[in-house]
A and B are shown apart, each in its own frame.
Chain A
Amino acid sequence: MTSEQPRPALVVDLDPLADVISAALVDHPGVVRLEPTLRSVIDRWTPAALDQLHRTLRPAGSPPVVARDGLLLTLSDGVLDLKIDVATDINRSALDLAREVQDVAARLVDAEGIAVGRVDVTILAIEGAPAT
Chain B
Amino acid sequence: MALNEDQPRLGCGRIIDDVWASIDQPPTAHELECPDCRSARLALHHLESVTGSLRDRDRDDPALQPGARVKEAIMMVARAEVRRSRRTPLVTTALGTIDISEQALSGLIRFAASTVPGVRARRCTIAGAPAGADPTTDPAVAAVDAGDVRITLTVAISSGVRVPATMDLLRERVATVVQAQTSITMQQIDIIVEDLYDL
Contacts and interface: CB of A to CB of B under 8 A. Distances in A.
Report the interface size class on chain B. 20 to 34
Nearest to B101: A124
A102 B96 CA distance: 8
20 contacts: A37-B81, A38-B77, A41-B74, A41-B77, A85-B84, A93-B181, A94-B104, A95-B182, A99-B91, A99-B98, A102-B95, A103-B95, A116-B95, A120-B98, A121-B96, A122-B87, A123-B104, A123-B182, A124-B104, A126-B104
Interface in A58-89: 82, 85
Interface string A87-122: 000100111001100110010000000001011111
Interface of A: 35-38, 41, 44-45, 82, 85, 90, 93-95, 98-99, 102-103, 106, 116, 118-127, 130
Interface string B155-199: 000000000000000000000000011110000000000000000
Contacts of B83: 35, 124-125
Contacts of B101: 122-125
B93 interface: yes
Interface string B67-107: 00010011011001101100100110101111111011001
A125 B180 contact: no
A41 B90 CA distance: 28
**Which of B74, B90, B95, B180 has the most CB atoms of chain A within a 10 A radius of its CB?**
B95
B73 A36 contact: yes
A121 B98 contact: yes
Nearest to B98: A98
Question: What are the nearest 9 A-B pairs in CB distance?
Answer: A118-B96, A119-B95, A123-B100, A35-B80, A124-B83, A120-B96, A119-B96, A98-B98, A102-B95
